[in-house]
Amino acid sequence: MGGLIEITLGIMTAVGGFVDVSEMVFAAQAGSRFVFSLIWVFAIATVAIAVFGEMSGRVAAITKQPVFNLMRQRLDLGPGIIALVASVVVSIITCAAEIGGTATVLKYLTGWPYSVLAALTTLALVAIIWTLPFKWIERLFGLLGLLMIVFAVATVKIHPDWGGVARGFIPQVPVSLPLKDLVTYGYFVVAIISAVLFPYETYFYSSGGVEEQWKPKDLKVNRLVAIVGFALGSMLAISILVNAAVLFRPLHVDPSIVGTSALQAAIPFGRTGLLMALLGMVFAFSGAAVETGLSSAYSLAQFLGWEWGRFRKPHEAPRFTIAWIATFALSLAIVLTGVQALDLVEWAVVLSIVVLPATYLPLILIANDRKYMDRHVNGPVSNVLGWVSYAMICIAALAALPLYFVTQGGKL
């Protein structure tokens, strides 16, 4: 890597790949139910993902080993296996949610049956991963996902109360709400933290660092891409929240159905806006499906010491190849059982926050270990932000299951 073009492309890819189906669903619902009062959660979770993303990229560049390879050395075999199984299960469910989301949007565009579109989407993704090298896979979906910028442009066009939006960035608890709504607010806080910090993002990011053979000289680019790319990507998610608050709330529209949010672009920009939003969603969701599908295979291969990577031909890393194909097959099978995409999104979000503490602890410990990192260990800023974020993740993980059951998945 190197040069302005690489940096720009890296940032654009991170922006286009930021929003996935669960962020979309929770951002839109957060806006329509709680106006701007959940914006701060996106902001804080984005700081956390930028910190952990940068850390995992740095660990990959220095140790040449991605997160999962090191997780086992840090957690020991037994806890490591449990973390592995949990994260593979989460990746499969998340992948199913992304495939389901993509198929739902494609149904709006084509009118074809949902299950046929889910199967075609999966086949297309498998064919793309089989044939394209890693960098092209990442760029293809990231850059086409930039069509989602239409949501940010829509935000400017609909003139929200910018003062109210700015106040949303201040951490707050709307204590004036009735208890029932307050508990649901708590569920949304946890769900948004989880959706932004999905564990597959760091597996994918750090594995990508090894795939692209990052070196210590790439650390600056890594930092820029992680901070600027994730921050701009998060602005897209926040604009979806703001649009939902302005456009959906007054009409009592519940945007829990995946495609509803596309109307945010249709209202100010008509047919063209609608088309851009739907296509942006197709690429953003299917890009996330690729990331989760590969992440599951990365985790397995790295934990068990197999040959892995898309820089190799499929038969040169055979067990890795079988692992990602099996992930897509299982994800498609889940989608074809007829489970609603929204339910999959909620399961993915709740399960992944429970797994998150096990993912990020080894990462932060290794990033602090001079034996692995030499002079590239965490500085004070990374450490303070990292540990504060880690504490936040642990609290969210403890609260996730009780809040999910009490609120019936936010449907209370």
Partner 1 sequence: MKPNGSLKLLAEVRDLQIVDKDGRSCGICDDIELDGGPGKLAIKALLVGPGAYEGRVPNWLFWLIKRIAGSRIARVPWSAVDKISARIFLNVTAEEVGLRKVEDRWVRKLQKVPTS
For position 69 contacting partner 1 by CB under 8 A, the verdict is: yes
CA distance 274 to 401: 36
CB of 81 to partner 1, least distance (A): 6
Binding segment for partner 1 among 39-47, 137-145, 299-307, 355-363 (CB under 8 A)?
A: 299-307
Cα 287 off chain centre by: 10
Restricting to residues 129-148, which ones interact with partner 1 according to CB under 8 A? 130-131
Could you count the other beta carbons within 10 Å of the beta carbon of residue 78? 8
Token reading at 312:
């190799």
**Contact letters (x/-) for partner 1, 362-401, by CB under 8 A?**
----------x-----------------------------
Restricting to residues 313-342, which ones interact with partner 1 according to CB under 8 A? 313-316, 318-319, 321-322
Q: For residue 152, what are the contacts with CB-CB under 8 A and spacing of at least 6?
A: 235, 236, 239
Token reading at 300:
């397995």
CA distance 102 to 258: 9
Residue pointed to by tokens 């029932």: 180
For position 307 contacting partner 1 by CB under 8 A, the verdict is: yes
Between 361 and 394, CB nearer to partner 1: 361
Burial class (CB in 10 A: 0-12, 13-18, 19+), 361: middle
Which residue, among 36, 75, 26, has the nearest Cα to 198 in the 3D structure? 26
Residue 358 contacts residue 79 (beta carbons within 8 Å): yes
Alpha helices in 35-76 (DSSP H): 39-63, 67-75
CB of 369 to partner 1, least distance (A): 11
Between 319 and 411, CB nearer to partner 1: 319
Between 127 and 406, CB nearer to partner 1: 127
**Contact letters (x/-) for partner 1, 73-92, by CB under 8 A?**
x--xxx--x-----------
CB of 332 to partner 1, least distance (A): 19
CB of 215 to partner 1, least distance (A): 16
Between 322 and 361, CB nearer to partner 1: 322
Q: Which residues bind partner 1 (CB under 8 A)?
A: 63, 65, 69, 72-73, 76-78, 81, 130-131, 303-308, 313-316, 318-319, 321-322, 372
